[in-house]
Structure 1
């Protein structure tokens, strides 16, 4: 890589509208089909995507006759915009087109890495640290993921990413000094009021004036206050692929 702004590796965002930056400057990603190609490659960053899969994602099974030419032109435009120094960021392999984005180059991967640290902190009993990591991870979200991209492939990816976001939100818990979740307080049980003695025609003798107290009847548990549970239990945080 050469020195200068052009040598800066790009950074990508998909947890909202698709965006790319080089040296903190936004990159023009071109028309919708070109953006869709980049989004698909980002969803499979580090693995090749065959041409037929790209065409199916971009045209939802109804491609034009020149679909291959369109994809190739989009690839060339993305290379010029994202990798003018030809650092092999986007290459053609025997298995398809491959985008070599680092683990910290895509906000979705940064999000998952933060959840991994949160999981490790939770396992060691550091709920405060785990909660901080989850909050930082959720702070990466800006809007609907892949906003503006249409088609079944992107709808499926969007739903999966939103599921990951919801799972992360459910992991937030109130930390305590002991590093455990604060249990939800149960409702305070109250005894039913003792009814006043009915007036009678005959006077009550002094030695029997003090009536025996009426015991309070037990109150059934309120379903609105369940037993405290660990929100981390049973959650799969790290799916292999969002689509």
Structure 2
């Protein structure tokens, strides 16, 4: 067997081993998700009571399927939030062998931050809904109609507001990570700022009632998050450049 063929076989074996390891880590993550889902499903009444205390009205159901839907949805959201740090840890363990000691220590700090930002985004979106969007929508009625709110429609609207915020709260940490890898630069983020703002306004319009002021109010936190991302990207980029210059000076 030639050295070239042997090298190709070893390369294929390494790829297979990496894929197998990734699969195993995803299986572990899936098991954790299912376990958390089952626990959350068992305690679905407690979870529902948590949301119920903020409702200024009684929810109704129009079908038996709607009851099952809300049980599964609440359990799924709780399980998703709880699985995020586990998924982050599994991905970190997967790439850990290719990192230096300093990179391992620095990247490990991303895991709790990712979880806290996701949780913070959920809470922020929910508070925005309860304190701002819901009162605005109820004020439009002004006693003209009999209000009947179903479980499905109410919680779909809640998650339509909360989940986008949870995702966008991850943007700063993603920007830092991509800058660390050299994929993203603060200059590029500044260059596309106006397009990013436009997208933020569209998202604000998509997750809020058809009221211009309300859409701008929701878009403002997203714009602030983008500006924070630029600042953090600049911070990481500056440290990266300083480290590179110090290395070159030592080499000379």
| More helix, by proportion | 2
| More strand, by proportion | 1
Structure with the larger RCO, 1 or 2 (CA within 8 Å, 6+ apart): 1
TM-score by length of 1: 0.30
TM-score by length of 2: 0.29
